């Protein structure tokens, strides 16, 4: 890896690599098989400060930059994509408060989120409003010092286990972002989705029936919710790129070990040029993705929270779309290299292939990312 990391970043990278390989990797197959949220892994990541890695120290986080956060996500995803979701979703649900909330909201919510005492989720998607965010139907009507929410959300990660919900709804002034706490009357959880991959990361429906939210829980101002959401997603896309990158690297790790042990026609299959070329392409694609993800994260670090630079946003979209496409290609090739063994659960590449697919879909489909990129370059 040629990207220039600081000494501190290398130490953190080595530390999370060791923790992931020793403590998380042995749980990965079981997490996938049972399809249950791994609270033990959440506690482990919280104990070492990884769950609030890039949240400010003043609110209980580790205060690390976005690039270092990406290093952490990459190493966890390298062994277990479901476990990496613990980190990425906590960031997704927390960033609206950090980037757009007022100081009172930050003091009230961030310490528990930064330390993993409470879990967050991000409620944007609806059955008829996925990529087309502005078509959402969830409404929030003013009711004195409160807002009364009615509507439905779907595909909400952590929807059934979150303590703090960042929810977007339409008001008279436009889309508005709200902080809703677990147990608020009128908030209920619907079905838990059965998914192809990341099975240890729960995905749920949410329903709002006259759900009363106090006005002090509005993030930013009424009508600024779309900007809150886009500002958040611009920051989280390199993290999804890092997740995809980790999945791809994990699949290559398995392949490199397998091709030296598996023999056909009297010699290891790694000695055949056809396999060697596949491995060379996989490694090259991964390294290219790594460079783009790290560059995007560094660029956003330099930008900070002061504004929105189209060139930086373009990089974030490029990192997400390229790394996720690489993850899908590499994991598919990994299954092919392992042949029949790649298709069964004895080896983890079939799980990695299933996990990789979602990185092309969530937090902005790759088609939407290409729209963002094309508009920027034109």
- pLDDT tens profile 323-332: 999 999 999 9
* 59/53 Cα distance (integer angstroms): 11
What is the full DSSP assignment across 86-118? HHHHHHHHHHHHHHH--HHHHHHHHHHHHTTSS
In the predicted model, what is the mean pLDDT of residues 210-224?
A: 96
Q: How far apart are CA 244 and CA 319, in angstroms?
A: 10
pLDDT at residue 1 greater than cutoff 50: no
Average pLDDT over residues 203-231: 96
Mean of per-residue pLDDT scores for the chain: 95
What pLDDT, in 10s, does the model give residues 20-40? 999 999 999 999 999 999 999
Confidence label for 311 from pLDDT (cuts 50, 70 and 90): confident
pTM of structure: 0.95
Q: Using 50, 70 and 90 to split pLDDT, how confident is the model at 295? A: very high
- Quote the CA–CA distance of 255 and 316 in Å, as a whole number: 29
Of 185, 65, 44, 52, nearest in space to 106 by CA: 52
What's residue 134's pLDDT? 87
Task: Please confirm, yes or no, whether 363 is among the known catalytic residues.
Answer: yes
pLDDT at 305 over 60: no
Pairwise CA distance, residues 59 & 71, whole Å:
22
Cα separation, 87 vs 84, whole angstroms: 5
Compute the average pLDDT of residues 58-82: 96
Instruction: Please give the pLDDT value at position 16.
Output: 97
Least Cα distance to 174 among 216, 108, 230 occurs for 230
Cβ atoms of 123 and 168 closer than 8 Å? yes
**What secondary structure letter does DSSP report for 22?**
I
Mean pLDDT value of segment 232-258: 96
Domains of the chain: 7-114 (1.10.540.10), 120-219 (2.40.110.10), 226-377 (1.20.140.10)
Check pLDDT > 70 for residue 304.
no
Of the residues 75, 91, 126, 363, which is catalytic? 363
CB 120 within 8 A of CB 192: no
Query: Which residue shows structure tokens 């290219």?
Result: 288
Q: Which has more confidence, 305 or 206?
A: 206
- Kindly state the percentage of the chain with pLDDT values over 90: 90
At 2, is the pLDDT very low, low, confident or very high (cuts 50, 70, 90)?
Answer: very low
Task: Give the residue ranges of DSSP H helices in the chain.
Answer: 7-19, 28-34, 39-47, 66-77, 81-100, 103-114, 225-261, 273-303, 310-338, 349-358, 366-377
Which residue in 24, 19, 167, 33 sits closest to 92, CA to CA?
A: 167
């Amino acid at each position: 890896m040629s990207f220039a990391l600081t000494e501190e970043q290398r130490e953190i990278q080595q530390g999370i690599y060791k923790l992931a390989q020793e403590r998380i990797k042995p749980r990965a197959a079981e997490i996938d098989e049972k399809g249950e949220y791994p609270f033990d892994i959440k506690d482990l990541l919280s104990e070492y400060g990884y769950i609030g890695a890039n949240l400010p120290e003043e609110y209980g986080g580790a205060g690390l930059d976005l690039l270092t956060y990406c290093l952490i996500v990459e190493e966890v995803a390298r062994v277990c994509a479901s476990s990496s979701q613990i980190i990425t979703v906590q960031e997704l649900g927390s960033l609206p408060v950090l980037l757009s909330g007022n100081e009172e909201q930050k003091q009230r919510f961030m310490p528990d989120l930064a330390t993993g005492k409470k879990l967050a989720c991000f409620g944007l998607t609806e059955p008829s409003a996925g990529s087309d965010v502005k078509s959402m139907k969830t409404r929030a009507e003013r009711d004195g010092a409160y807002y009364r929410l009615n509507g439905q959300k779907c595909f909400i990660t952590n929807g059934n286990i979150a303590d703090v919900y960042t929810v977007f709804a339409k008001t008279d002034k436009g889309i508005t972002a709200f902080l809703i706490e677990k147990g608020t009357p009128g908030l209920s959880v619907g079905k838990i989705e059965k998914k192809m991959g990341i099975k240890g990361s729960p995905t749920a429906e949410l329903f709002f029936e006259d759900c009363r939210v106090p006005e002090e829980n509005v993030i930013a101002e009424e009508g600024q919710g779309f900007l809150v959401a886009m500002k958040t997603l611009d920051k989280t896309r390199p993290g999804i790129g890092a997740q995809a990158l980790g999945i791809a690297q994990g699949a290559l790790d398995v392949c490199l070990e397998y091709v030296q042990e598996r023999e056909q026609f009297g010699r290891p299959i790694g000695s055949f040029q056809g396999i060697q070329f596949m491995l060379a392409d996989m490694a090259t694609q991964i390294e290219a993705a790594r460079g783009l993800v790290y560059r995007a994260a560094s660029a956003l670090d330099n930008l900070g929270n002061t504004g929105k630079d189209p060139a930086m946003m373009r990089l974030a979209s490029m990192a997400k779309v390229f790394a996720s496409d690489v993850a899908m290609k590499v994991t598919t090739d990994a299954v092919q290299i392992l042949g029949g063994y790649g298709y069964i659960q004895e080896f983890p590449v079939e799980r990695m292939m299933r996990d990789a697919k979602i990185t092309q879909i969530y937090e902005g489909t790759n088609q939407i990312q290409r729209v963002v990129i094309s508009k920027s370059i034109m």
